Amino acid sequence: MSFDLSGRRIWVAGDRGMVGSALVRRLAQDGHDVLAAPRGTLDLTRQAEVEAWVAANRPDVVVIAAARVGGIAANAARPVDFLHDNLLIEANIMAAAAATGVAKLLFLGSSCIYPRLAAQPMAEEALLTGPLEPTNQWYAIAKIAGIKLAEAYRQQHGLDFISAMPTNLYGPGDNYDLESSHVIPALIRKAVAARDAGDAAMTVWGSGTPLREFMHVDDLADALVFLLEHYSAAEHINVGTGQEVTIADVARLIGEVVGFAGDLVFDTSRPDGTPRKLMDSSRLLGLGWRPRIGLREGLADAYRAFQAHDGVRLG
Ligand code: GDP
């Protein structure tokens, strides 16, 4: 089974974000044209604006890469933004896509949809089998609703809506604001600052013991194109590397990549979040897709992008 993207009008909602911009780059490699709303002209939380844009531009393929995203502190500080805005963005885009009759829609979630203490690695079936991690429950609830909404459109209207759940992502275009970012951009920025200041140590939040699985966003973009072309089913599908690392080890690796040789100080007044978050990506791997970018190589690329101010947002 395969879906041909050539000649299709593809709309990547969220094309200026880390994921959306990586997907636009990846689609361009294959010579595909991508639709984009000019900056500041489309508020995805406004239903009428989204309907009007989709009706006027008539995409054949829609990817929902738009979302309010952020790290552990941002979720705690802005629960309404993470729940309300994400619900509206996904509901508005899916309704407009259904009304215009798109050939395919891909919704993007996150590994935090799975229960805090889900069996590891977390398979797709773990969804809704237990309580969520409280630090990112707002975002998770919105993303779970999005998965179910895509499934509902498939069931009620026979539309080819699919959902992919990426693991923790990093890469060019990431958010480097120290309070709202995820761990990798934060530690790259902190390691550069500590190196340049000649500091003896840099601070890492939490105990350093949580385990995370990280994927470079260019690998995700490649997987998303693969899924658009080869996946069509009601159930969401995990997108991960299968490799996990402790926060302390990723901090050390970032120190090596950046050239900071000092110590790590663990600030346990900051939360650890979920203890372990490794996805079971065997369904995707079984379809024949493979990640290509190892963690050290990927971190070196993220550091390059940070130095070059390549899409870097400092908050
Ligand atoms: P999570 O995967 O949803 O928990 O999101 P994060 O990427 O924000 O955090 C991952 C882990 O890295 C958590 O255990 C954090 O406490 C830890 N961490 C260590 N230092 C930092 C930092 O400077 N910023 C962030 N966001 N997390 C950090």
**Residue 270 CB: number of other CB atoms within 10 A?**
14
User: Rounded to whole angstroms, how far apart are CA atoms 221 and 166?
Assistant: 10
Rounded percentage of the chain residues whose pLDDT exceeds 90:
91
**Among positive and negative, which fits the CA dihedral 225, 45, 135, 118?**
negative
Task: Check residue 310 and give its pLDDT.
Answer: 57
Render the burial of 191-210: b for 16+ CB within 10 Å, e for the rest: bbebbeeebeebebbbbbeb
The alpha-helical segments, DSSP class H, found in the chain are 18-29, 47-57, 72-77, 79-80, 86-100, 137-157, 183-197, 217-230, 247-258, 282-286, 295-307
Going by pLDDT thresholds of 50, 70 and 90, the confidence category of residue 217 is very high
Ligand 1: atom nearest CA of 187 is 23
Query: Has residue 166 got a pLDDT over 90?
Result: yes
**Residue 212 CB: number of other CB atoms within 10 A?**
21
Ligand 1: atom nearest CA of 272 is 14
Ligand 1: atom nearest CA of 271 is 16
**Left if phi > 0, otherwise alpha if psi is -120 to 50, otherwise beta: which for 198?**
left
Task: Tell me how long the chain is.
Answer: 315
Ligand 1: atom nearest CA of 206 is 16
Nearest to 163 by CA among 214, 93, 74, 215: 93
Enumerate the active-site residues: 139
Residue nearest to atom 3 of ligand 1 (CA): 72
Q: Which of 136, 174, 182 has most ligand 1 atoms within 8 Å of CB, for mutation? A: 182
Find the mean pLDDT for residues 236-242. Answer: 97
Question: Distance between the two ends of the chain, CA-based, in angstroms?
Answer: 43
Task: Check residue 312 and give its pLDDT.
Answer: 55
Rounded percentage of the chain residues whose pLDDT exceeds 70:
98
Q: Which of 183, 245, 258, 272 has most ligand 1 atoms within 8 Å of CB, for mutation? A: 183
Q: Are 95 and 51 in contact (CB under 8 A)?
A: yes
Find the mean pLDDT for residues 239-250. Answer: 97
Q: How far is the CA of 96 from the centre of ligand 1 (A)?
A: 35
User: Rounded to whole angstroms, how far apart are CA atoms 28 and 23?
Assistant: 8
Q: How far is the CA of 143 from the centre of ligand 1 (A)?
A: 20
Going by pLDDT thresholds of 50, 70 and 90, the confidence category of residue 315 is very low
Q: How far is the CA of 264 from the centre of ligand 1 (A)?
A: 14
- Pocket of ligand 1 from Cβ distances under 6 Å: 71-72, 112, 136, 168, 181-183, 186-187, 204-206, 210, 212, 247, 270-273
User: Rounded to whole angstroms, how far apart are CA atoms 65 and 166?
Assistant: 11
